[in-house]
């Protein structure tokens, strides 16, 4: 038994794990309140939270909102084909496997060493149909077949920033191409007032998809603090009312902006091209850092 392995560490004394991965220093930190739950950070920025005893538990606010999108993607329990761009500790693939048994999932992450760390210390439940690929998210997406997935989840951060090449109109068109009719795109983004980045993302995806919505905590949308927002897009009608009900009654209540309200938020923002793309802004004052 490896005493540094959180999967096999004594219950009374879980041991943190630190490892240099391809894109920084990763740490697995035990949660003292949940017996087999772990926080993954990379260079101090929280990446994922996993409870090995309860794979459907979603701790982070943005993960819960992505979970609501996945819950609304089809009738309860219906298996889905899901592509995850960004892996972390595979929190959302675990959630989909638990809530929609029989789903087929692919996870793409450029940090192969991080994927190896997660596979070693936080293994997926037996029988889970999740295939993990070490690759650049956009390159993988561009090679993916047309009409091949029901849901595409993008949660890619280089440190605390969304990479520029995953913010453009060309990228959005690739996302639309791989989605099946009725499919849904959902992305975890981060920004603060005056929302230059977030507004540009809404404008970009509104130029490609017929339906776009934004889910965020009201204080973030009012510009009171920097924070996460989930962008949702589809060529088909989004069940905005159900999304709004789920997010409003969540322990971390959020608001769904769409239609005229979202158009007012977007204002005169322009779609992002590959030529002018920039990464999302650096969180001020280490907003998402963990010591």
DSSP string of 170-214, one letter each residue: HHHHHHHHHEEEEEEEEEEEEE-TT-HHHHHHHHHHHTT-SEEEE
pLDDT greater than 90 at residue 128: yes
pLDDT greater than 60 at residue 190: yes
Give the whole-angstrom CA distance, residue 71 versus residue 204: 25
> Looking at residue 160, what is its pLDDT?
87
pLDDT classification of 3: cutoffs 50, 70, 90: very low
Contact assessment for residue 97 and residue 103, using Cβ atoms and an 8 Å cutoff: yes
pLDDT classification of 6: cutoffs 50, 70, 90: low
pLDDT greater than 70 at residue 1: no
> What average pLDDT does the segment 109-125 reach?
96
Give the domains, in start order, of the chain with CATH numbers: 55-281 (3.40.50.150)
For residue range 222-251, what is the model confidence (pLDDT) as tens digits? Answer: 999 999 999 999 999 999 999 999 999 999
> What average pLDDT does the segment 57-73 reach?
97
E-state strands within the chain: 17-21, 24-30, 37-42, 45-51, 81-85, 104-109, 130-134, 149-154, 179-191, 211-216, 227-234, 255-258
> Looking at residue 145, what is its pLDDT?
98
Could you give the percent of the chain with pLDDT greater than 70? 94
Could you give the percent of the chain with pLDDT greater than 90? 90
pLDDT classification of 285: cutoffs 50, 70, 90: confident
Give the whole-angstrom CA distance, residue 27 versus residue 98: 25
What does the mean pLDDT of the chain come to? 93
For residue range 150-165, what is the model confidence (pLDDT) as tens digits? Answer: 999 999 998 889 999 9
Task: Report which secondary-structure segment, H or E, holds 119.
Answer: helix 112-121
Q: Which residue has the tokens 């089809």?
A: 74
Q: Which of 9-18, 38-47, 64-73, 209-218 is predicted with the least confidence, judged by mean pLDDT?
A: 9-18
pLDDT greater than 80 at residue 185: yes
> Looking at residue 11, what is its pLDDT?
53
Contact assessment for residue 70 and residue 78, using Cβ atoms and an 8 Å cutoff: no
For residue range 75-103, what is the model confidence (pLDDT) as tens digits? Answer: 999 999 999 999 999 999 999 999 999 99
Neighbouring-strand partners of residue 107: 84, 132
> Looking at residue 158, what is its pLDDT?
86
Residue closest to 78 by CA, chosen among 106, 100, 105: 100
> Looking at residue 289, what is its pLDDT?
46
Beta-sheet strand order (sheet of 45-51): 17-21, 24-30, 37-42, 45-51
Name the percent of the chain in helix, strand, coil, to the closest 5.
Answer: 30, 25, 45
Give the whole-angstrom CA distance, residue 22 versus residue 64: 27
């Amino acid at each position: 038994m490896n005493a540094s392995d959180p999967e096999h560490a004594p219950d009374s004394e879980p041991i943190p794990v630190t490892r240099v991965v391809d894109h920084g220093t990763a740490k697995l930190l035990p949660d003292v309140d949940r017996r087999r739950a772990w926080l993954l950070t990379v260079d101090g920025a929280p990446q994922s939270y996993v409870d090995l005893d309860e794979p459907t538990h979603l701790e982070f606010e943005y993960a819960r909102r992505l979970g609501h999108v996945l819950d609304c993607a089809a009738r309860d329990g219906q298996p889905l084909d899901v592509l995850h761009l960004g892996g972390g500790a595979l929190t959302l693939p675990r959630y989909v496997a638990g809530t929609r048994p029989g789903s087929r999932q692919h996870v793409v992450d450029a940090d192969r060493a991080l994927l190896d760390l997660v596979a070693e210390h936080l293994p997926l439940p037996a029988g889970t149909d999740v295939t993990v690929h070490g690759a650049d998210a956009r390159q993988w997406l561009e090679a993916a077949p047309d009409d091949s997935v029901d849901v595409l989840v993008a949660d890619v951060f280089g440190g605390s920033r969304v990479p520029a090449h995953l913010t453009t109109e060309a990228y959005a068109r690739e996302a639309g191409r791989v989605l099946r009719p009725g499919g849904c795109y959902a992305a975890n983004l981060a920004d603060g007032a005056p929302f230059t980045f977030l507004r540009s993302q809404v404008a970009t995806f509104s130029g490609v998809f017929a339906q776009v919505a934004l889910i965020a905590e009201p204080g973030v949308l009012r510009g009171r603090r920097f924070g996460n927002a989930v962008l949702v897009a589809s060529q088909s009608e989004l069940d905005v009312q159900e999304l709004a009900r789920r997010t409003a009654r969540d322990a971390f209540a959020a608001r769904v902006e769409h239609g005229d309200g979202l158009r007012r938020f977007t204002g005169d923002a322009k779609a992002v091209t590959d030529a002018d793309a920039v990464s999302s802004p650096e969180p001020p004052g280490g907003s998402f850092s963990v010591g």
